[in-house]
Amino acid sequence: MSNEPKEIEAKIRSYILENLLFSNDPTELPNDASLLDRGIIDSTGVLEIVLFLEGEFDIQIKASEMLPENFDTVNNMVAFVQRLRVAVQ
């Protein structure tokens, strides 16, 4: 299991494109675009992403960590996953 940011980013982008945007066009998802402001995710979408991240990256996300800033952009999610994985090692 890699902690490489590019690998984490690719998996997160792929999940969002396929499951939330129903697309395979990466230009539809800039890494710094707000998923909340663009209406791509809402509270239910955040829960879906939490389940994906926990399963894909073998991490546990606490309720106190379910903050909008951790899930608002692809970049934020990559940094969040990296922080959690480093904390476990």
Structural domain containing residue 16: 5-88
Give me the number of domains the chain comprises.
Answer: 1
Tell me the CATH number at 36: 1.10.1200.10
The pLDDT confidence band at residue 1, using thresholds 50, 70 and 90, is low
Q: What is the mean pLDDT of residues 64-85?
A: 96
- pTM of the predicted protein model: 0.92
Using CB atoms within 10 A of its CB, is residue 18 exposed (0-12), middle (13-18) or buried (19+)?
exposed
Q: How far apart are CA 80 and CA 70, in angstroms?
A: 6
Is the pLDDT at 87 greater than 90? The verdict is no
Encode pLDDT of 41-69 as tens digits. 998 999 999 999 999 999 999 999 999 99
- Helical segments of the chain, H only: 5-19, 43-57, 68-71, 74-88
